Amino acid sequence: MGLHKDRIVLAYSGGLDTSVAIGWIQEQTGREVVAVAVDVGQGGEDLEVIRQRALDCGAVEAYIADARDEFAEEYCMPALKANALYEGKYPLVSALSRPVITKHLVRAARQFGATTVAHGCTGKGNDQVRFEVSITSMAPDLDCIAPVRDLALTRDVAIDYAERHSLPIETTKHNPFSIDQNVWGRAIETGYLEDIWNAPTKDVYTYTDDPTYPPLPDEVVISFKEGLPVAIDGRPVTPLEAIQELNRRAGAQGIGRIDMVEDRLVGIKSREIYEAPGAIALITAHAELESVTLERELHRYKRTMEQRWSELVYEAQWFSPLKKGMDTFIDYTQQYVTGDIRMTLHGGRAVVTGRRSETSLYDFNLATYESGDTFDQSHSRGFIEIYGLTSKLAAARDVRFGRGIDFGTGDLSLEN
């Protein structure tokens, strides 16, 4: 038959909702479904098991991709170089994974002759926007559908459908939370967490141990080259290995737990719990090395850009012209971000205790107050005169027009 122009590519996780979606889409649209599963370090079942389940649930093809290294190198590392924390807290766990998953969805659509891509997102979250904007940014000709949003595939319908069709998927176990995880971190929402007065319970967490009762402090040295982690305690690592090792070590100390109410792209506020031990440890170390190696004005400007970069990625603009331009700037800033950061991981905190870099702008002889000081303090008087001149002139004008600072009229004399 050749290419099937009526095929739909489905982002497939192996869980209940997307397993049911295979048959549901076929019934509702009369079109064949190609299941696409992408491993971004989420753990869980073997990819081959997921592939076979997709076929058993009615998929005509199953596309499986191990994208862990790709995700770490091409998505997590740009976020690290940008010290990306949405609203100052969230390291973009889910937002970073959507573009790489989408890339494989589009690749599968081209390979199997599909004209439509489907995803399992609801109609009130950020991810529907991320998937669909990413898809059309790479392949403007593709259509997008969401079975939950567009084809009325609610959870109770999914459970009933799975039982009636005897699908090879567990339907009785109900997790009260909505969870998305990958190697960069873990996101947990819904359930009792929707009441923002409720504290998270211990069963929420998987990537991190309770920081209240930590093991002994763990000292780690992270080596960077041009902004990227290249060694841990002197042992060479790939970006994926760096994230994985720090997930283990920082996670054991309870580092990277985040409880926040964030502003979603669709206009609502949402309570989210995140765990990102490796990401938080790496961002902490990287930002500290930049403090040593970036020139002052470059450093200041990059900090303001980091916030906007994080917002763009959170808001589905990974492929936007502005974000691409920012990437070019950020890459330029990293040419001297090379050196070692020593940190102590303990009790929920990653504390920097040492910095070392051959490209450092820190000059001990200029900074010291001891003998050997090379800073010529005689220059400071003239510098202050010139630096403060505009403020001095403005203050004199205020006094001249009666707008000077009022120091009050009380008796300021000292009493015996």
- pLDDT tens digit string along 172-218? 556 668 889 999 999 998 889 999 999 999 999 999 999 999 999 99
C-alpha dist (Å) from residue 215 to 118, 242, 347: 45, 21, 8
Per-residue confidence (pLDDT) for residue 171, from 0 to 100: 59
Phi, psi of 387 (to 5 degrees): -60, -40
In angstroms, rounded to a whole number, what is the distance separating the alpha carbons of residues 272 and 189?
Answer: 5
State yes or no: pLDDT of 1 exceeds 50. no
Catalytic residues: 17, 98, 127, 178
Alpha helices in 121-202 (DSSP H): 127-138, 147-150, 155-164
DSSP H helical ranges for 197-347: 239-252, 277-293, 296-314, 321-333
What's the mean pLDDT in 70-74?
98
In the chain, the amino acid numbered 98 is R
- β-strands 114-118, 143-145 pairing: parallel
Question: Among 78-87, 365-374, 383-392, which stretch is predicted with the lowest mean pLDDT?
Answer: 365-374
Look at residue 174 in the predicted model and tell me its pLDDT.
61
SS3 assignment, position 253: coil
> Can you give the pLDDT at residue 138?
95
The residue behind tokens 């990227």 is 228
3-state helix, strand, coil in the chain (%, to 5): 45, 20, 35
State how far the Cα of 180 lies from the Cα of 31, in Å rounded to an integer: 28
Higher pLDDT, 402 or 372: 402
| Rounded-to-integer distance, Cα 18 and Cα 103, Å | 19
What DSSP character marks residue 336? G
Q: 42, 36, 79, 69: which is closest to 55 by C-alpha?
A: 36
pLDDT of residue 221: 98
**DSSP assignment letter at 199:** P
For residue range 357-367, what is the model confidence (pLDDT) as tens digits? 999 999 988 88
Cβ pair 303, 282 in contact under 8 A: no
Model pLDDT, residue 45: 87
**Could you read off the pLDDT of 287-335 as tens digits, one per residue?**
999 999 999 999 999 999 999 999 999 999 999 999 999 999 999 999 9
pLDDT in tens, 234-251: 999 999 999 999 999 999
Task: Note the Cα 112 to chain centre separation in Å.
Answer: 31
What is the average pLDDT across 102-119?
96
User: Strand order in 349-356's β-sheet?
Assistant: 235-236, 228-232, 218-225, 339-346, 349-356
